[in-house]
Amino acid sequence: MNSCPALMISAPSSGSGKTSVTAAIARHARNAGKRVRVFKTGPDYLDPMVLERASGHPVYQLDLFMGGLAHCQGLLAQAAAESDLILVEGVMGLFDGAPSSADLAAAFGLPVLAVIDASAMAQTFAALAVGLQTFRRDIRLCGVVANRVGSAGHARMVAEGLPEDLPLVAALQRRQDLALPERHLGLVQALELPGLDAQLDRWALAWGEASKGFEFQPVRFDVEPEPALPPLLKGRRIAVAQDAAFSFIYPANLDCLRALGAEVLTFAPIEGQALPPCDALWLPGGYPELHAPALRAHTSFFADLAAHLAAGKPLLAECGGMLALAECLTDAEGVDHAMAGLMPGRAQMQARLAALGMQKIEWPELGDRGELRGHTFHYSTLNTPLVPIAHASNPNAGKAAEALYAQGSLRASYVHHYFPSNPEAIAAFFLAHHSS
């Protein structure tokens, strides 16, 4: 049993400023010498990159669908044993989705700090805050943050009507110099923002000045230790592409491979790094369309992928990793880029969101224990003659139902798989060898 100050940062909707406030709190605590662990509710790659820079520690997902209750318990208990403060950034609005941020807060007794965009309201702020406070009895709001206020007078107006047990913890002014740039999948990647650390320090300073007197409350995390995974991948070398083009990697996925006994070897294709000698390969999602010239300029990358597949070695390609294997990728400006040509078909970026949602998929070759969980989020489409061997389903009755394609030792899909959802199934795939 471990106890640690902990807080969930949520909001009435997306776009309220949860990530900025969470990053500000994390950097403020870190600058004060505290060990901070930050988690993100639900599937997300871009917010955690910013939160990792703010806290100085990898950011893990807490998702009751993808990982399950016991997995989330274990992550929180480990963090509580190693840190002075735990922060959990919510997803969308507090009660949105199933499971929601509220479900997670209720499961672990996390007090909730609600971030409300006050830029277009005054006294109605209190009505919205009280609505969040009273909508469910099994969660507890410990305070609210008024984000993007225009002045001290505006801050006083939004505080009117708040009950005594729901304090205004901070009123943060609207400042263009504190905004982060965005692109079609959300925030721009942290590694592409050279001034991010200075900006995080400005956020931390603004939080510290606005939130004087706020105290974090300890939470007890009870957990039974999960049994160790069997070393099914002992002696296997698994290469993972990891750079700005292939950056959508959950830390828990790499941990899972290592816990299964694999040696994980990362390499950066857009920097010209060669595919290391390996038994299997994972090409995760990312932004190949933004780095297509660099991928083409790599003298051996596509040839190495071809040789890997010709040898019958497993290759898992997810979303952007799959697009890099297509014959052609057309970017958002309509420019065609020749890709590896190892998977028949053409990919096209588009302005509209193509798919979004949690995903559950049965890999038919893995038998009745082949269910994997994850999510999909992409602005591209893929036109391929390959016939899918399976389709995913959405637990929230959403339309997204991504295909799983197979060609020799290649498995490709828009699904971003969460490896801890079924470590044995992941091990079975990475152990497989398909004779050419």
**For residue 357, what are the β-bridge partners?**
376
Which amino acid belongs to residue 175?
R
Q: Are 57 and 78 in contact (CB under 8 A)?
A: no
Cα distance between residue 434 and residue 313, in whole Å: 7
Which tokens sit at 407? 């060609």
Q: So which residues are the catalytic ones?
A: 319
- Dihedral sign for Cα atoms in the order 19, 120, 129, 218: positive
Structural Rg of the chain based on CA atoms: 22
Cα distance between residue 260 and residue 407, in whole Å: 25
Q: Are 425 and 370 in contact (CB under 8 A)?
A: yes
- What single DSSP character describes residue 230? P
**Among 279, 203, 181, CA closest to 23:** 203
Angle CA(33)–CA(19)–CA(92) in degrees, nearest 5?
140
**Among 113, 114, 142, 112, CA closest to 128:** 114
**Among 114, 86, 156, 160, CA closest to 17:** 114
Strands 2-10 and 218-221: antiparallel
- Dihedral sign for Cα atoms in the order 426, 356, 241, 409: positive
Angle CA(82)–CA(85)–CA(91) in degrees, nearest 5?
110
Cα distance between residue 365 and residue 372, in whole Å: 12
Q: Are 417 and 423 in contact (CB under 8 A)?
A: no
- What single DSSP character describes residue 381? E
Residue 389 exposure: Cα atoms within 13 Å on the Cβ side: 16
Q: Are 313 and 353 in contact (CB under 8 A)?
A: no
Question: What string of DSSP letters covers 126-153?
Answer: HHHHHHHHHS-TTS-EEEEEEEEE-SHH
